Amino acid sequence: MEFWQGFVLITGVHLLAAMSPGPDFVYVSQQTLSRGRTTGLISSIGIALGLGVHIVYSVLGMAALVASSAWLMTAVKIIGGAYLIYLGIQGIRARARSTVDLNATTAAPQSVSTALWKGVLCNVLNPKAPVYFVSLFTVVLSPEMPMWQLAVYGLWMMLLQALWFAAVVFLLSVPRINRRFQAAGHWVDRILGVAMAGLGVKVISTVDV
């Protein structure tokens, strides 16, 4: 496959994957609405870095190994599902606020490293990722491709991921949109928390026992 042909195909496929609702979207939305634009952007970068982990092990041929190993997939599902439930519980426990200050956040401050690390974990522990990358490497990419080409594609996918979620962050930061969410205060955190926990339960429920 020619470089630009693969580049266009990767762009289309990965944008659709990034835009589909899932744990990353819920997490970035939750962080943006509860802690502000900066934390949302840092979380987006963390998610993109987490994607880089998937890309590296896929290039090394490990994605197929994980997807084909029953016990590895079970471990990934349990750990990933538990982490999503943990993130969901944090949102559900959000405290009510007596007034709405659009210039303030609705949650306790969070360090850059914590926001970044949580974003990385949210993406890395997504059990659907190994299956997605097996499909991607089967249809579009190949370990036989030159390393520089795989590196360019991988970095481009990470950039697409970061740009998409940055767009989500800025959309939720638009004053009119942000005001409507902030007016609901802690209830938005709780709804998103329930959604996140629900995703975690759904993931764990797919484990074969």
Confidence bin at 1 (pLDDT 50/70/90): low
Is pLDDT above 60 for 106? no
Q: Can you tell me the mean pLDDT for 34-57?
A: 92
In a domain, 175, yes or no: yes
Count of structural domains, the chain: 1
In a domain, 108, yes or no: yes
In a domain, 116, yes or no: yes
Q: Can you tell me the mean pLDDT for 69-88?
A: 76
In a domain, 1, yes or no: no
Is pLDDT above 90 for 163? yes
What integer pLDDT is reported at residue 109 of this predicted model? Answer: 63
In a domain, 9, yes or no: no
In a domain, 67, yes or no: yes
The residue that leads in pLDDT, 114 or 203, is: 114
Domain of 53 in residue numbering reads as: 22-205
What integer pLDDT is reported at residue 147 of this predicted model? Answer: 82
DSSP collapsed to 3 states, the chain: CCHHHHHHHHHHHHHHHHHCCCHHHHHHHHHHHHHCHHHHHHHHHHHHHHHHHHHHHHHCCHHHHHHHCHHHHHHHHHHHHHHHHHHHHHHHCCCCCCCCCCCCCCCCCCCHHHHHHHHHHHHHCCCHHHHHHHHHHHHCCCCCCCHHHHHHHHHHHHHHHHHHHHHHHHHHHCHHHHHHHHHCCHHHHHHHHHHHHHHHHHHHHCCCC
